[in-house]
Amino acid sequence: MADQTKLVWDQEFRARVGKTIAYISSVGKTLSFLDPTSVQMISVVYVRGYPILVYRSGGEERTYLAGCPHKRRPITAPGYEVKEYRIIRCPFHGAEFDLLSGEMIKPPDSKTPCPSPCRLIRAILKDGDVEFQGEPFSPELPKPK
Protein backbone atom coordinates (compact mmCIF):
# COMPACT_ATOMS: atom_id res chain seq x y z
CA MET A 1 0.00 0.00 0.00
CA ALA A 2 2.91 2.32 0.72
CA ASP A 3 4.08 1.91 -2.87
CA GLN A 4 0.58 2.63 -4.10
CA THR A 5 0.48 5.78 -1.97
CA LYS A 6 3.78 6.88 -3.47
CA LEU A 7 2.50 6.10 -6.95
CA VAL A 8 -0.58 8.26 -6.40
CA TRP A 9 1.67 11.00 -5.11
CA ASP A 10 4.00 10.79 -8.06
CA GLN A 11 1.11 10.94 -10.49
CA GLU A 12 -0.48 13.90 -8.73
CA PHE A 13 2.84 15.64 -8.42
CA ARG A 14 3.52 15.36 -12.12
CA ALA A 15 0.00 16.49 -12.94
CA ARG A 16 0.25 19.50 -10.64
CA VAL A 17 3.68 20.54 -11.81
CA GLY A 18 2.60 20.02 -15.40
CA LYS A 19 -0.38 22.31 -14.84
CA THR A 20 1.81 24.91 -13.20
CA ILE A 21 4.24 24.85 -16.10
CA ALA A 22 1.38 25.15 -18.58
CA TYR A 23 -0.05 28.08 -16.68
CA ILE A 24 3.26 29.85 -16.30
CA SER A 25 4.05 29.26 -19.96
CA SER A 26 0.70 30.66 -20.98
CA VAL A 27 1.31 33.92 -19.14
CA GLY A 28 4.85 34.13 -20.50
CA LYS A 29 6.78 34.10 -17.25
CA THR A 30 10.08 32.44 -16.58
CA LEU A 31 10.17 28.93 -15.14
CA SER A 32 13.34 29.53 -13.21
CA PHE A 33 11.58 30.02 -9.88
CA LEU A 34 9.72 26.76 -10.19
CA ASP A 35 10.85 24.83 -7.17
CA PRO A 36 9.09 21.46 -6.83
CA THR A 37 9.37 21.57 -3.03
CA SER A 38 7.21 24.69 -2.94
CA VAL A 39 4.30 23.05 -4.74
CA GLN A 40 1.32 22.47 -2.47
CA MET A 41 -0.60 19.31 -3.01
CA ILE A 42 -3.56 17.64 -1.45
CA SER A 43 -4.60 14.15 -2.36
CA VAL A 44 -6.63 11.40 -0.79
CA VAL A 45 -5.53 7.79 -0.55
CA TYR A 46 -7.37 4.92 1.08
CA VAL A 47 -5.81 2.79 3.78
CA ARG A 48 -7.81 0.08 5.55
CA GLY A 49 -10.92 1.67 4.05
CA TYR A 50 -10.23 5.06 5.59
CA PRO A 51 -9.70 8.07 3.34
CA ILE A 52 -6.42 9.73 4.20
CA LEU A 53 -5.76 13.33 3.27
CA VAL A 54 -2.13 13.81 2.30
CA TYR A 55 -0.85 17.36 2.30
CA ARG A 56 2.55 18.36 1.01
CA SER A 57 3.94 21.83 0.97
CA GLY A 58 7.44 23.26 0.96
CA GLY A 59 9.01 19.93 1.88
CA GLU A 60 6.51 19.30 4.71
CA GLU A 61 4.08 16.41 4.66
CA ARG A 62 1.06 15.83 6.88
CA THR A 63 -1.49 13.05 6.79
CA TYR A 64 -4.94 13.16 8.35
CA LEU A 65 -8.18 11.28 8.27
CA ALA A 66 -9.98 13.08 5.44
CA GLY A 67 -13.00 13.81 7.59
CA CYS A 68 -14.23 17.02 9.14
CA PRO A 69 -14.68 16.55 12.90
CA HIS A 70 -17.76 18.80 12.92
CA LYS A 71 -20.33 16.47 11.34
CA ARG A 72 -17.95 13.83 10.10
CA ARG A 73 -18.31 14.82 6.47
CA PRO A 74 -15.61 14.23 3.82
CA ILE A 75 -13.56 17.39 4.07
CA THR A 76 -12.30 17.08 0.50
CA ALA A 77 -15.80 16.79 -0.98
CA PRO A 78 -16.41 19.10 -3.96
CA GLY A 79 -16.31 22.71 -2.88
CA TYR A 80 -13.50 22.46 -0.35
CA GLU A 81 -10.91 25.21 -0.51
CA VAL A 82 -7.29 25.65 0.45
CA LYS A 83 -6.48 29.16 1.59
CA GLU A 84 -3.08 30.71 2.04
CA TYR A 85 -1.50 27.40 0.98
CA ARG A 86 -2.16 25.74 4.36
CA ILE A 87 -5.72 26.24 5.52
CA ILE A 88 -8.43 23.84 4.41
CA ARG A 89 -12.04 25.01 4.44
CA CYS A 90 -14.70 22.36 4.82
CA PRO A 91 -17.33 22.66 2.06
CA PHE A 92 -20.24 21.87 4.38
CA HIS A 93 -20.27 24.54 7.12
CA GLY A 94 -17.05 26.40 6.46
CA ALA A 95 -14.92 25.24 9.39
CA GLU A 96 -11.25 25.89 8.70
CA PHE A 97 -8.26 23.86 9.79
CA ASP A 98 -4.53 24.45 9.66
CA LEU A 99 -3.04 21.71 7.51
CA LEU A 100 0.31 21.80 9.30
CA SER A 101 -1.07 21.41 12.83
CA GLY A 102 -4.58 20.04 12.27
CA GLU A 103 -5.96 22.70 14.61
CA MET A 104 -9.29 24.36 13.93
CA ILE A 105 -8.81 28.03 13.20
CA LYS A 106 -12.39 28.95 12.32
CA PRO A 107 -15.44 27.21 13.78
CA PRO A 108 -18.27 25.93 11.56
CA ASP A 109 -21.13 28.21 10.56
CA SER A 110 -23.67 25.94 12.19
CA LYS A 111 -25.96 25.76 15.21
CA THR A 112 -24.36 22.42 15.98
CA PRO A 113 -21.05 23.00 17.72
CA CYS A 114 -18.02 21.01 16.75
CA PRO A 115 -17.35 18.25 19.30
CA SER A 116 -14.20 18.58 21.33
CA PRO A 117 -11.44 18.23 20.41
CA CYS A 118 -12.34 19.88 17.13
CA ARG A 119 -9.25 19.23 15.06
CA LEU A 120 -8.21 17.04 12.17
CA ILE A 121 -7.22 13.51 13.22
CA ARG A 122 -3.59 12.79 12.41
CA ALA A 123 -2.99 9.58 10.50
CA ILE A 124 0.40 7.94 10.70
CA LEU A 125 1.10 5.80 7.64
CA LYS A 126 3.51 2.97 8.21
CA ASP A 127 4.20 -0.28 6.37
CA GLY A 128 0.98 -0.04 4.41
CA ASP A 129 -1.10 0.47 7.55
CA VAL A 130 -2.39 3.49 9.40
CA GLU A 131 -2.57 4.56 13.02
CA PHE A 132 -4.73 7.46 14.11
CA GLN A 133 -4.09 9.97 16.83
CA GLY A 134 -7.72 10.03 17.85
CA GLU A 135 -10.84 7.97 17.23
CA PRO A 136 -11.22 7.50 13.47
CA PHE A 137 -14.57 7.56 11.69
CA SER A 138 -15.80 6.95 8.17
CA PRO A 139 -16.71 10.31 6.65
CA GLU A 140 -20.15 10.33 5.07
CA LEU A 141 -22.06 12.70 2.84
CA PRO A 142 -25.38 14.02 4.21
CA LYS A 143 -28.35 11.77 3.63
CA PRO A 144 -30.65 13.01 0.85
CA LYS A 145 -33.82 14.59 2.27
Binding site for ligand FES (CB under 6 A): 68, 70-71, 73, 90, 92-95, 108, 110
Q: Give DSSP secondary structure letters for 98-132.
A: ETTT-BEEE--SSSSPPPSS-BPPEEEEETTEEEE
Residue 5 or 74 with smaller CB distance to ligand FES: 74
Of 63, 41, 66, 65, the residue nearest 54 (C-alpha): 63
C-alpha 60/C-alpha 52 separation (Å) is 16
Contact 34, 19 (CB under 8 A): no
Non-local (6+) Cβ contacts of 130 within 8 A are: 47, 48, 50, 52, 123, 124
Residue 51 or 108 with smaller CB distance to ligand FES: 108
C-beta of 75: minimal distance to ligand FES in Å?
Answer: 6
C-beta of 22: minimal distance to ligand FES in Å?
Answer: 32
C-beta of 106: minimal distance to ligand FES in Å?
Answer: 9
C-beta of 23: minimal distance to ligand FES in Å?
Answer: 30
Contact 66, 51 (CB under 8 A): yes
